Chain A
């Protein structure tokens, strides 16, 4: 795939540099001349969007750190100082806070894209696993960042999440004490979260470099899931996909701007504008929206350790997905049964997210009490979470392994070009596209 380099140094300086550090050649081969399948749709633009999200978070975060004070007595006030006194501080902070949400919007779409088109299958397993690692570090970074303003949700969110680790037998308490640096979430906790929140984005940047490297070895998957067979199946990355990604980025930034300028607190929680008070817990404590599905899984289990294990398991199962899906067909375009289960899976993830934001004992259908089963009314968000959690795991552990062996996929095209060229509308008068391939 990554064959012969077509880079030709044009100036004397470029020739001199190329024999010492071929960095221009690397850039040329990776983003200018990189052969890319010619049929990528807009679901493939989220990789570029995510790279931009990381750059925005790094840039805004570094300047916010110039004004923020990581101390329990000053953290909340310093955030308000950024909002009110620092020149354009409001803009930088709203970009950073909403940027985190936009980052997760993009990463979830990117992941569902990978699931639908089978981008995790051979030979892209390592690419997928590095992606899962990036997602994991992103979640840790976002969680620690949310603690920094030291509002009520910051504080009690940190209490709940660090207490999760206390569920593990024997070592649990030692781990939470080590994380806290004291007997409770306090100043040492805030300090180390700030340090790690600054560090982890650079870890993400390193993982992104590996992710792109792992992408450039086998090359992009594509909507048909069929391997690239010849140069006829590809176009150079530039200008075809720089323009396509660029257009998608413009649309994405419009959504981003709509939040930053017109509804900057829509995705946050009002309680986080109350300074942290360790003696009072907010009556309804919820994490940020992007953690809600996992929060619903946690609460679905009536046992503390069981809930924690299932929540971590929901992420762990993604790492082994390449070996769970038994189907040889990559794209679900040619797997009608799998496609149905996939769309149910997307719906289930959204329902889990909704359940995570509700009080567990509230009724799903208002005013209807049924009967109590395992600690909760059947018509409650606990039970809706339980059913959807079951489907979440069944999709990975039962449906994908079994379906690959039992379903009958539709015939796949022989190449990326074939379905386009054989379409009647694209056949010029007098020409027959790939006549040797059509029966």
Chain B
């Protein structure tokens, strides 16, 4: 199919506003009389709150309202699983937990008042190790967990392991009995922060009609509305979330953060209340990607056929689990990998500890699971004396196979994707001493979701898309504009996008996430454009006496044979706009998935352990690519975040205390750390929706870290099973190996 606009690189809708500073973010929104609020955070990991005395703070200059746990008794919030205390009630569960909140005329006054709040704590036994926390007898962090709303499954006795998912296939014991070789290893991954530039922030105002007006960079505005309504048991209609520009999300901006506190302070003070987390607060309490421990055990035949694959994963949820959509993290199940094995057992536990809460970050669960799985597959291949790429090729799923966790997809392109990356990367080319190449793979189907869209063609000639989706920063708006331009044969630059607040948007809009933006929004934009075109042509037929089937569109004009008529003049004549409407309810499992295969090439300095990533080649099995420049941006961005996860980033936490406070200490890769990135596209007609698309946002990130770990072993023969892959770990392993 050939298109005019779709499939061509198109500049983003938000470039200019972001570069010139005109984009309006949450903290740019100011209402008359706005108060600033700050929270007092716990210095204890697990402690009983014996007493809170706010009397001195109440008398401090500028202070308008103070809240403590006593004011929010019984109120718990979360995205769907609701276990988060608005403010700590009776006890604190992590260092950094919010204990009290102050709203004052100025930020400085709010900060100063925090110092005047006296809290007495009595320490409780704490647990920081995720595996220890899952065991019987560990200090119980949430004794009431069985009563929390949204818990997928209740337990006989309260436990820290509040999610225990097990997928089984075949009979794992007999699988291992058939194996000639069994390889078992444990892999560990740290927490990493999303690193968005804009920290969590919000502005809450209770307007003159007693409606709760929220400004927040939440990428799931209807979800924020629902979470707030559920937490405070108020009708959803009372809440309106207003559109703002999101200053980076990477998965971390789907949950309510300080909105519940700002709401209560606004209620108490009668004033709008603004809260902006400092980055220090982001690091100590900002819901980073979960850390975890994963034990993998794989049985193979001597010829390299996988027969049994087992994983036991423990993800450290920290003190609260409600900062991610559901209680379960499905992505870790990707530790099943892209391979076939008759017998499998994948168990994933999400466990409370007294560490900071874990949250959601690009491809939730997958970077963890894929690091473990793809590192492990290499170890298994080496154990049976096979080249890791050849071992993968032998065991990769093919058309008709299910994933080990039981998902079925059609148009499986795993082998094609692997073949493409091996060829493009020069995987088999000769290499010098201490140079290594490693391969890793992953897969992810485009997520499902719901949205609605309207498209208006107005008497003034404007074309406006009305959508309840907030542009999360990935270019969804650019894509929907391309689609409307394609279907209406007009210039995308002339199309305006009107972001709807949550009153005007539809309540079932699932927002952005799970690489579903293009899948869900493209269907809606297409249907809305078709509907508008149909209505326009019907009108034209009536007014112009042109046969509808013979009318085409060309920018501002309706065209029939040699005759051209501006459509805005027709609309002026009838005095109203034409509105196309569409509803997409497409939240099911995608019938197709997308594979990613990557090859990292590293040089290892055997005297220091320093690893230099020389080249990274990534191959992607895609459907139609709507906007090549945006698609490539997602790939490069994902790979760069993968490099960070693999080599540099980690949030150090010692006995529950986060040891970094700023981006000087918490290092993200910068351009000097990024080698030449090469992308190979394996495009096919397989995909979903009117344009046959697949997702791309989350696919590139996960295989990067294991590809690098595998390349390190290829280069110098040591295996690092703990992220990030630092020089010190590599060098220590080299010393142990060389004695």
Pairing of A with B: no
Q: Which residues of A contact B (CB under 8 A)?
A: none
Q: Which residues of B contact A (CB under 8 A)?
A: none
